[in-house]
Amino acid sequence: MTAPQAAPGDNAHAAPTTAPQTWAERARAELQRAGYRRGGAREQLIDLLARERCALTIQEMAARLQDAYRRGANPRPVGIASVYRGIELLAELALVARVDVGDGIARYERASVENSDQDRDHHHHHHFICDRCGLLMPFDDQALEQAIVALEDRVGFSVSGHEVLLHGACSDCRDARR
Amino acid sequence: MTAPQAAPGDNAHAAPTTAPQTWAERARAELQRAGYRRGGAREQLIDLLARERCALTIQEMAARLQDAYRRGANPRPVGIASVYRGIELLAELALVARVDVGDGIARYERASVENSDQDRDHHHHHHFICDRCGLLMPFDDQALEQAIVALEDRVGFSVSGHEVLLHGACSDCRDARR
DNA sequence: TTTACTGCAAATTATTTGCACGGTT
DNA sequence: AACCGTGCAAATAATTTGCAGTAAA
């Protein structure tokens, strides 16, 4: 993925906005700042991700956009390639985070701004995956975050993000096994 | 993957061994207990994993086994399908852990026994991935482990394992970007 | 002798890419 | 007008599966 030749309305040096934004607003602003245009597929993808709380697969995203098209909510179909391309771009700009739960299928969800509350949708979390039924469950834990922040200073690298994944059996599956 | 019809020499109810084992010993013992036989490819795969400290891709494992064959160290070639099948089996028995670092390629490494020191090779760790050059670096942190153990009691699930992945730039890449 | 294990090659499935057309700036 | 963004279909690449022969118990 290569960035466009130039950013026509490049406002990178404008005074930063401090008012809280939604994730979608921030995403559109950063895309524009980086010189990208607003295509139909990209816009629809942003709206879709903005609506979701937790991670979706590419197939799920494509299916939902396809449904919206059939339902008449969207003017034209969105090809799966555009979903891949859109996600790739959003991931590069760190606007979405990839989540791998171990089944070999990539999932993505909107990323929160680290150490900031500028984002009204902010909802940093991690995941629990049920290895029996595949249930994906988000959770957050303040003590864990603190341990990770402390750790980040100790490792000799520049840490830009982190993920924690818990494996196990959800309550239904735990009961079912008996 | 379906387990064999029966476990001929099933010793599941024998008195448990308390002497520390290597990972390879434990792996072979558990495979046998579950009724699996000792095939050439599986044996070679176990030896390979036992030698490695950190995660390998399937391609890397296949290449090393292929090299060993060419070098004459192994009697016959190992097909990549056998590597996939062997890893799948070891993963089911929780003898290896899958590590996803976000590039869409599955990696595996031997798993340590949770809360136990029966395994001489025991080396529980997590990973740092350089998103620029792909360097994969293992690390461990006692405070992090404690935070996760505490957390496991709080979530409403039966947690069998966990993974932590730090993203960022390694020292070389951090310097190179300047 | 029975049934598991294996290599090879074919089949799937996720993901990427080439290309011509329509849209945004 | 210039060049980006998109859908579609073809091309890749990872992973899985079918099958016939070999080996473990």
Q: Please state whether strand C lies within 7 Å of residue B134 at its CB atom.
A: no
- The pLDDT assigned to A53 comes to 86
- The pLDDT assigned to B12 comes to 44
Q: How many CB atoms lie within 10 A of CB B139?
A: 16
- The pLDDT assigned to A115 comes to 65
Q: Which nucleotides of D are covered by protein (CB under 7 A)?
A: 3-10, 14-18, 23-25
Averaged pLDDT of chain A: 89
Q: Please state whether strand C lies within 7 Å of residue B39 at its CB atom.
A: yes
Q: Which residues of A touch B141 (CB under 8 A)?
A: 147, 151, 154
The answer to whether the Cα torsion of B97, A154, A162, B142 is positive or negative is: positive
pLDDT higher than threshold 70 for residue A66: yes
- List of B residues 136-175 with CB within 7 A of strand C: none
- In this complex, the residue with its CA at the shortest distance from the C1' of nucleotide D23 is B39
Give SS3 for A161.
Answer: strand
From B172, which residue of chain A is nearest by alpha-carbon distance?
A157
pLDDT higher than threshold 50 for residue A172: yes
pLDDT higher than threshold 80 for residue A164: yes
- The pLDDT assigned to B130 comes to 94
Q: Please state whether strand C lies within 7 Å of residue A105 at its CB atom.
A: yes
Tally the residues of chain B: 178
Query: Considering only CA atoms, which of A162, A164, A10 is closest in space to residue B148?
Result: A164
pLDDT higher than threshold 80 for residue A3: no
CA-to-C1' distance for B56 and D21, Å? 30
Q: Please state whether strand D lies within 7 Å of residue A122 at its CB atom.
A: no
Query: Considering only CA atoms, which of A78, A152, A133, A99 is closest in space to residue B144?
Result: A152
pLDDT in tens, B50-104: 999 899 999 999 999 999 999 998 889 999 999 999 999 999 999 999 999 999 9
pLDDT band, very low/low/confident/very high, at A5 (cuts 50, 70, 90) = low
The predicted model scores a pTM of 0.90
Whether A168 sits inside 8 A of B174 (CB atoms) is no
pLDDT higher than threshold 70 for residue B8: no
Whether A147 sits inside 8 A of B146 (CB atoms) is yes
* Maximal C-alpha separation, chain A: 63
| A100, A147, A157: residue with CB nearest B171 | A157
Q: Please state whether strand C lies within 7 Å of residue B86 at its CB atom.
A: yes
Pairing of strands A158-169, A96-99: unpaired
